[in-house]
Structures are given as C-alpha cells and as structure tokens.
Chains A and B, each alone.
Chain A
Amino acid sequence: MSIITNINKVFDHRIRLGIMSVLMVNEYADFKTLKALLDATDGNLASHTKALEKAEYITVEKQFIDRKPNTRYSVTKLGQAEFKKHINALEKLIKKQ
C-alpha cells in the first residue's frame, strides 16, 4: 500500500509527466519549446502548466523578447522531489508485477 501512496495524482497525465521530464533536465523551457516537444495544443498545455503551477511544482516567468511575450517555466525544489518520488514509485510498481 505504501507504494501506491507515492504515486502522485498531480502527475497522472501524459502532458504533465512530459512537462516535468523536460524541466528536470533543463534549466528552463519556454511555452513554444514545450509545445513542440510534447505535441500539445495551446489550451491543453496551458491548463496542465497551470495545474503544476498551482501545486507549486513549477514556476512561471513572463517576459518580453523583442517585444513578443515569452513564458518560461522552470521546476521548483518541491517539484523535483515529488517527481523523483513519483518515478521511484512507478519503477517499483513495474518491478513488483
């Protein structure tokens, strides 16, 4: 039962797992890069980043580059820890069965 408790509901979606994976290995990623990597639509990606932001797993930084709005995401310490726990739980589940 203890393994199941480590499975994090917030990550229970392909796009969210994808966002976290990209941000774990990159200092930051902007909206466009994430969109291209994850093959997601604007609205879809926006709603998932919002959910992760609300859980305080990622931070959002808005700025202007050449007068165009640019949104950058990066992972928080909490997000990193939670994601690692989630991955470990997934791996244990796979090994067990």
Chain B
Amino acid sequence: MEAFKGSLTMITNPAVFAYVMKGVAFTIVISVVAVLCGILFGSILAMVRNYCTSKKTRVFQWLSVIYIEIFRNTPLLLWIFICLVFCPCPKALEHKMWGLSSAEVKLLFKTAVALILFTSSVIAEIVRGGLNSVAHGQFEAGHSQGFSTVQIMLYIVLPQAFRNIVPTLLSQVITTIKDSSYLANVATIELMSRVKKLLSSAHRYNGLNTVNVSDVFVLFGFACLIYFIINFTLSCVVRRMQKRKKAVPARRQEVMP
C-alpha cells in the first residue's frame, strides 16, 4: 500500500505532471501536423493514382502506386529508423526551440518526417475511396460547363470526395495519435517516451528509492487514461457523424418521393 501511495505522489508532483502534459501537447501537435501533411500529399498521390491514366502520364501513376504499396506494407518503425539515418535536417532547425535541445529538435523533425511519409500513404487510400465514390457524371457535367480538369477537381470532385471521407479521416487521426507512440522507440519527446523515461527514473520521485510494480501501473495507467480520453472523444464524434450521414439520404427520400 505504501508503495502505491509513493507512486501516486509522482503524478501529483507538479513538475512531473507538467512534464507529462508537455508530452501530451507534443503528441497532439505531431499527430495533427502529420495528418494535415498527410491529407496534402495523400490527395496528390490519390489523384495521380486515379486519374493519370493516359499514356504520357502513366509513369506518375505507377510511381504513386509503388509509393503507396511500399509504405502500406512495411512497418512504421522501419521508416523511423531509415529517416533517422537518411533524412537530412535543415540547418535552420538545428538550435534550441520550444524548450528542447537542438539534438531533440533534430530527432523530432526526422521522426515526424517518417510519420508524415507513412500517414500520407494511408490517407492516399482513404482519399481514393472518396474520389471513387463521386459519380462519373460529375466529370462530364463539369466538362460540359466548360470547366478545365483542374477546375473540376478543385470545385466539383474534391469537395464532394472530402465530404464523404471526413469520418474516416477523423478515425485516421485516432490511428495517427496511436502511431505517434512509435516515436518513443527512438526517444522523441512525446507522451509515450516521456512516461517510459519517468518509469526508469521512478525511484527518484516516489520517495522509496526503488522501482515497484505500482509505479508501472500508476504511470502507464495514467498514460492509458490520457490516450483513452483523447481517442474516445474523437471516436464518439466519428460515430455521431456516421449516424448523421446514414440518416440524411433517408430523410431526403421522404421529402422527394
């Protein structure tokens, strides 16, 4: 019991709490940035894969297929290790920022790049699903109105495609938040790695000079709780959206028989 009380004092220690919360902030920022960049690159990849089918542009289609398939079929951790060695880091980033040392900033940048590359390939497939759900008549209608292909994409197809995939994209945010814990493998500064670091120095904070089982339960339980609260809230939002999406066409049918 005493060991458990000692473990609890770790969480209530304001310095430790602030340390963990900063990790939470980094987790969220990294995930959101990864998803936003993923949407950008993923949309490009998906459009290239779907519409570059003419003889001249088929090379690009093949490239995007290769990219998507390679990243979908290899683990994220491999790409983190690869980026750690091969990803160049711009000189402008190699100094202290946001309370991190320059080495940590460099590490953060490299691992974030890995996460972005990986997420793009997943989002590309999601966007492709959205693009395929847009009826082909929309293209023909656009062409007959004198829109160019780029305009059709921007004003007609993409808005409809994205409206269809908003729930799936949101659940991808959940997956990315979970995936960002992989960065802990190379000790980037997000939630998971901070909790793991705390565990290895728990003897200093729990007042017992030893690391016990209760430390594991308190620290990892706390991290679980944080992840759960964030992701469960998001998944509730996703479920409500899906319910609304299903309800809308039914209502329309009633109005216009």
Q: Check if A and B associate.
A: no
